[in-house]
Amino acid sequence: MNVVSLCRSPAAEMAIIALSISLGIIVLGTGWGSKVTAYHSLCKLEKRTADCSRKRLGSVPADLPAATEELFLDANIIQILKNASLVSYQVLQSLSLRENGLELIEPGAFLSSRSLTSLSVANNGLSVNYSVTATAIWTLTALRKLDLSGNQLTEDMVVTMIQHLSSLESLSLARNAIMRLDHSHFQNLLQLQDLDLQQNYIFEIESGTFDGLRVLQQLNLAYNYMPCIVEFDLTQLRVLNVSNNLIEWFLAVEDDIAFELETLDLSHNWLLFFPLLPKQNKLQTLLLMHNQMSFYGDLFNHSESKVQLLFLDGNITNITTFNLWEENNHGNLSSLSFLDMSWNQVRYLPDRFFEGKAFLTHLNISHNCLESLHVQRWEWLNTLTDLDLSYNQLSDLQVNLSSGGTLPNLQWFNLSTNRLHGLPAKLFTHTTKITTVDLSNNPIKICGSHVDVNGAASPDCIDVHNAGSLKNLFLASCDLAMLGNHVFWGTSLAHLDLSNNPNVQLGSLVPLQDVAQSLQVLSLRNTSLSAAKTTMDFSIFQKLVNLDLSENALVSFPESLIGLRLHTLDLRKNGLHTLPQHAMQKQLGRSLHVIYLSQNPYDCCRLGWWDALHSLGTIHIADWKQVTCNYSSKFISAANLPESVLQDCKWLTADMMWVYLVLFLPTCFALLVAFVIVFLTFRQRILQMVKSRYKRSSSHGLWGAGKTQVTEPKEWVLAEWES
């Protein structure tokens, strides 16, 4: 017996293993294996979370683990959340019922869910039975986070629903039908920190509306219809987002109270003036892009620069006079680090505009109407790292380098699309951290290599000599004339864009030699390159990974590219008839990932390279659908070359053989006939000549006896042929 029990039969062993596996599954299924993902028939269970989203459920499943703390039921079809739905989930903390077409929550639905802290019922139809639903929501005494967005709720419905939720910390009412707000709407939300009201129809917020929200930190009013914000007094607020409204005025209360405001988004509004910010604030980010802002001080004398504002509040009219363009009205912006004023109407910056902005790192004034920029004291901008002045009408940029301001931290300077002819001399000697300069679309000149060492370069050109930190230089569409041979000397540019400068005349690339060792990205698009005129040698550009040679007049593939480690090569819009088939068998073929080839007059009958490129399989022809070839002056897609063309190409090559043959044969025949006639006419003489020659030549080497033996049969043969 012992023996038998020790040596179980294999079948019994299998049964025991199977039993233990099924036991394991049971343990996992009921006991929340804390690491392993378990599976319910419909829902995904993980830790204490059950995800039953997108299962076309009409009600809450009743067979989930009782210990479920987080339940997702999004995108189902639960129209009514019934009284007993959640009764088995007593420890539920978070419930999400987004996008269900939910119209009613029965009053007792949450009675068993005392610990629910987070409820999302976004994108449903709760406006239908809002008063009944409200009684259900009131029972959630521990609720901290409520998302009611996208439910077509009006402000009155909202009040009914939220009025007793004093524990709420975060409330989203986005995408509803709220139009105006007053102090009755958010009375009891003493804990509320985050209120989202974006995408409603709010055109009026009475003063005092947010007074009860003592700890409110973030308020989002984006995408509403607010015409102005006056007497802004929410001192406790840290983030205010009123972007995408119709705001013409932003006025904070004129007071010396300290505001906590750190981020103010006023972008995409109709602001006419720089906002009148709280005098004492902690603003770090101020977003004013896409408005109508300008400064008007230059149009008025100081006495006239006051504006009177009429506040109509019920039947009280209050007239306040502001001096709009006095810099001290711009508030104390000593903590500001990010200021975006792009897409406005700014024509000039007031003299002391930058005063006190001691922490400014990012400044964007692009897409404005600046004509000149004379910053008196650039030392205010010593912390600046990014400066964007692109898309203005700047023809004059003055930096007073002697006063100590040198933009020592500037890294990124965008001046593209202005009217600059040059930059202040020696600018780059001071900006020692600068890496990127965009001067595209300016009528600039690059100073020649002969610039005076004392910095006497004229402001009519740009001197990048010795700008050692400069890595990325954009000079596209600058109408550059011929470059000196050493204009980039002393720099180690990695990215250079010279595109759209058809008069730049790079010839054999000599002006680029000083940066050939460091360049990684080079754009020579539309620079009138033609391989015919010069022999372009790219072989010294060993670090190059991205090269754009498009829109030039190349008729042959530059052979020197074959040894480079390019990743991307652009050859569009040139005059290439074919590509050398061996090109891709060398280094270039191994490193290349992307190539652009379209708009070249390739010969349809010489597309061997095209097939070779495809068969390589490692190179992505980014524009392969657009690649066409020339077949008797018709351009057809190289990717879908019709069979008939392929046949014709074969015929064409075969035909050529016949043509050669037909041309060659008569010529040979004529030559032969001519030869025979000549021979016949001068037969005697020629024979004699041959004979005498033979005699003479053979007399040296051959014995006399051989003479007759050799010549006689020859004469006989000729005679025979004659007759």
108 binds ligand NAG (CB under 6 A): yes
Least separation in angstroms between CB 168 and ligand NAG: 21
Give the per-residue SS3 of 122-160: CCCCCCCCHHHHHHHHHCCCCCCEEECCCCCCCHHHHHH
633 binds ligand NAG (CB under 6 A): yes
83 binds ligand NAG (CB under 6 A): yes
Cα angle 710-715-719, degrees, rounded to a multiple of 5: 155
Least separation in angstroms between CB 173 and ligand NAG: 13
- Determine the residue type at 159: V
Least separation in angstroms between CB 587 and ligand NAG: 30
Instruction: Name the 3-class secondary structure at 207.
Output: coil
Tell me the C-alpha distance between 403 and 376, whole Å.
8
Binding ligand NAG by CB under 6 A: which of 129, 209, 436, 560? Answer: 436
Least separation in angstroms between CB 49 and ligand NAG: 27
Least separation in angstroms between CB 671 and ligand NAG: 32
Binding ligand NAG by CB under 6 A: which of 5, 9, 34, 315? Answer: 315
308 binds ligand NAG (CB under 6 A): no
Least separation in angstroms between CB 216 and ligand NAG: 16
Cα–Cα distances in Å, from 564 out to 82, 91, 585? Answer: 70, 65, 12
Quick one: 156 or 351, whose CB is closer to ligand NAG? Answer: 351
Least separation in angstroms between CB 316 and ligand NAG: 6
30 binds ligand NAG (CB under 6 A): no
107 binds ligand NAG (CB under 6 A): yes
Q: Which residue reads 């343990």 in tokens? A: 27
Q: Are 273 and 249 in contact (CB under 8 A)?
A: yes
Quick one: 287 or 457, whose CB is closer to ligand NAG? Answer: 287
Quick one: 343 or 541, whose CB is closer to ligand NAG? Answer: 343
Binding ligand NAG by CB under 6 A: which of 155, 265, 548, 570? Answer: 265
Least separation in angstroms between CB 424 and ligand NAG: 20
Indicate the length of the chain as a whole number.
723
Tell me the C-alpha distance between 230 and 207, whole Å.
9
Q: Give the ranges where 523-579 is alpha helix by DSSP (H).
A: none
704 binds ligand NAG (CB under 6 A): no
Question: What is the enclosing helix (H) or strand (E) of 228?
Answer: strand 228-232
366 binds ligand NAG (CB under 6 A): yes
Tell me the C-alpha distance between 146 and 122, whole Å.
9
Binding ligand NAG by CB under 6 A: which of 176, 241, 337, 552? Answer: 241
Tell me the C-alpha distance between 656 and 643, whole Å.
20
Instruction: Name the residue among 430, 285, 451 with its Cα closest to residue 359.
Output: 285
Least separation in angstroms between CB 672 and ligand NAG: 35
Q: Give the ranges where 164-316 is alpha helix by DSSP (H).
A: none
Tell me the C-alpha distance between 605 and 412, whole Å.
50
601 binds ligand NAG (CB under 6 A): yes
Sequence-distant (6+) residues with CB within 8 A of 378 are: 399, 400, 401, 403, 405, 406, 407
556 binds ligand NAG (CB under 6 A): no
Binding ligand NAG by CB under 6 A: which of 169, 438, 463, 570? Answer: 438
Instruction: Name the residue among 42, 53, 51 with its Cα closest to residue 69.
Output: 51
Contact segment (CB under 6 A) with ligand NAG among 13-21, 22-30, 630-638, 660-668 equals 630-638
Q: Are 77 and 52 in contact (CB under 8 A)?
A: no
222 binds ligand NAG (CB under 6 A): yes
Q: 657-676 mask for ligand NAG (x: CB under 6 A)?
A: --------------------
376 binds ligand NAG (CB under 6 A): no
Contact segment (CB under 6 A) with ligand NAG among 73-81, 308-316, 529-537, 682-690 equals 308-316
Tell me the C-alpha distance between 378 and 427, whole Å.
12
630 binds ligand NAG (CB under 6 A): yes
Q: Are 431 and 408 in contact (CB under 8 A)?
A: yes
320 binds ligand NAG (CB under 6 A): yes
Q: Give the ranges where 555-607 is alpha helix by DSSP (H).
A: 587-591
Least separation in angstroms between CB 413 and ligand NAG: 9
Tell me the C-alpha distance between 516 and 511, whole Å.
10
507 binds ligand NAG (CB under 6 A): no
Contact segment (CB under 6 A) with ligand NAG among 484-492, 502-510, 555-563, 629-637 equals 629-637
133 binds ligand NAG (CB under 6 A): no
198 binds ligand NAG (CB under 6 A): yes
Number of CB atoms found within 10 A of residue 256's CB: 8
Cα–Cα distances in Å, from 655 out to 647, 658, 684? Answer: 12, 5, 44
Tell me the C-alpha distance between 560 and 216, whole Å.
66
Which 8-state DSSP code applies to residue 379? G
How many chain residues touch ligand NAG (CB under 6 A)? Answer: 30
Binding ligand NAG by CB under 6 A: which of 390, 442, 526, 527? Answer: 390
Least separation in angstroms between CB 654 and ligand NAG: 17
Instruction: Name the residue among 263, 252, 259, 261 with its Cα closest to residue 285.
Output: 263
Sequence-distant (6+) residues with CB within 8 A of 450 are: 484
Instruction: Name the residue among 219, 230, 326, 223 with its Cα closest to residue 264.
Output: 219
560 binds ligand NAG (CB under 6 A): no
Quick one: 110 or 538, whose CB is closer to ligand NAG? Answer: 110
Instruction: Name the residue among 297, 235, 298, 232 with its Cα closest to residue 266.
Output: 232
Quick one: 652 or 690, whose CB is closer to ligand NAG? Answer: 652
Q: Are 250 and 271 in contact (CB under 8 A)?
A: yes
632 binds ligand NAG (CB under 6 A): yes
323 binds ligand NAG (CB under 6 A): no
Quick one: 439 or 509, whose CB is closer to ligand NAG? Answer: 439
Quick one: 315 or 615, whose CB is closer to ligand NAG? Answer: 315
Least separation in angstroms between CB 238 and ligand NAG: 11
Interaction site with ligand NAG (CB under 6 A) = 83, 106-108, 198, 220, 222, 241, 243, 263, 265, 287, 301, 314-316, 318, 320, 366, 390-391, 414, 416, 436, 438, 474, 601, 630, 632-633
